[in-house]
Amino acid sequence: MLHIAICDDDKETVQAHKAIAENCLKQCNSMGEVKVYTASNNLLYDITEDQFFFDLILLDIEMPGNTGMEIAEKIKPYLPNVKIIFITSHIEYAIDAFELSVFRYVPKDDIEKRLPAAIKDAVKLIELEDGKAYTIQTNSRFEKIPCREIYYIERDGKNASITAAGGISRVRKSLQQVYEELNMEEFLYIDRGCIVNMIHIMQIKDGMAVLKNGTSLPISRSHLQEVKEQINNYWGTHI
């Protein structure tokens, strides 16, 4: 079940965007709930005070009270993985939206074409990031790590070291064994001793894989071209 919020101070607009979002969910064969707000302060209160959870938020940038930009900044500590689509008539905001790691920027003069595509892309990505967990079992503990939260896995002597959103976990298995157990196309070797979850790769720059959490990992020269091709093929297929 996906949770979507739409915030725009114009009542007719927010209902129109709700209809588009609900139609996109149907086309994606996804279950979802769409909640609408005509006051940005109400949305902010629900997230920061009442702990409402949303996977995707559509925000008008130019709103009284808290603007879309201010909302995006204030909710990040509460919803660090939320996807945000900015809707605005001012193209100069696109640069600021990029700096806030906003999923998509949609100009108001091209809503009918651009908004449905943006919502469907976001829904696909959210569903990709959900999914199975990797289980570590020893004599003393049983740990489940959501695969979408794994950033990368490194060889650590006879162990494999898994770096995820919740911290670092070690399992007494070879890197190849963990890779085979994961059995997910999202994971790829960037070096003989390192596997990365490509949904967390923001960019490939100067032979490094730059991840969403700020980590930069070296890609071996022998893997670089293959890594680029795998990433292009993956996103070309899924988005």
Residue 58, exposed/middle/buried by CB under 10 A (0-12, 13-18, 19+)? buried
Q: Which of 24-38, 95-109, 150-164, 222-236 has the lowest mean pLDDT?
A: 95-109
* Residue 115 token pair: 């908004």
Instruction: Please state the domain extents for the chain.
Output: 2-129, 133-238
Specify the DSSP element, H or E, that contains 163.
strand 159-164
Report the range out of 84-88, 134-138, 140-144 with the highest average pLDDT.
84-88
Note whether 2-129 and 133-238 share their fold.
no
pLDDT band of 148, cuts 50, 70, 90 = confident
* The pLDDT of residue 24 is above 60: yes
Q: What pLDDT is attached to residue 7?
A: 97
Q: Which of 35-49, 100-114, 147-161 has the lowest mean pLDDT?
A: 100-114
* Yes or no: domain 133-238 corresponds to CATH 2.60.40.10: no
* The pLDDT of residue 93 is above 60: no
Which among 55, 62, 49 has a CA at the least distance from the CA of 35? 55
Do 105 and 86 meet the contact criterion of CB atoms below 8 Å apart? yes
Q: What pLDDT is attached to residue 101?
A: 55
pTM of full prediction above 0.85: no
Q: What pLDDT is attached to residue 98?
A: 44
Which among 104, 60, 63, 61 has a CA at the least distance from the CA of 82? 104
Query: Region 14-37: what's the mean pLDDT?
Result: 95
Residues 6+ apart with CB under 8 A from 81: 129
pLDDT band of 23, cuts 50, 70, 90 = very high
Name residue 45's amino acid: Y
Which among 200, 116, 205 has a CA at the least distance from the CA of 163? 200
State phi, psi for 138 to the nearest 5 degrees. -130, -175
Q: What angle, rounded to 10 degrees, do the helices at 40-48 and 68-75 form?
A: 0
According to DSSP, the β-strands at 167-171 and 159-164 are antiparallel
Q: What pLDDT is attached to residue 91?
A: 61
Residue 39, exposed/middle/buried by CB under 10 A (0-12, 13-18, 19+)? middle
Q: What pLDDT is attached to residue 239?
A: 60
pLDDT exceeding 70 applies to what percent of the chain?
Answer: 92
Which among 137, 141, 160, 140 has a CA at the least distance from the CA of 150? 160
Q: What pLDDT is attached to residue 141?
A: 66
* The pLDDT of residue 97 is above 50: no
* The pLDDT of residue 16 is above 90: yes
How high does pLDDT run on average in the chain? 89
What's the fold here for domain 2-129?
Answer: Rossmann fold (3.40.50)
Q: What pLDDT is attached to residue 77?
A: 85
pLDDT exceeding 90 applies to what percent of the chain?
Answer: 62
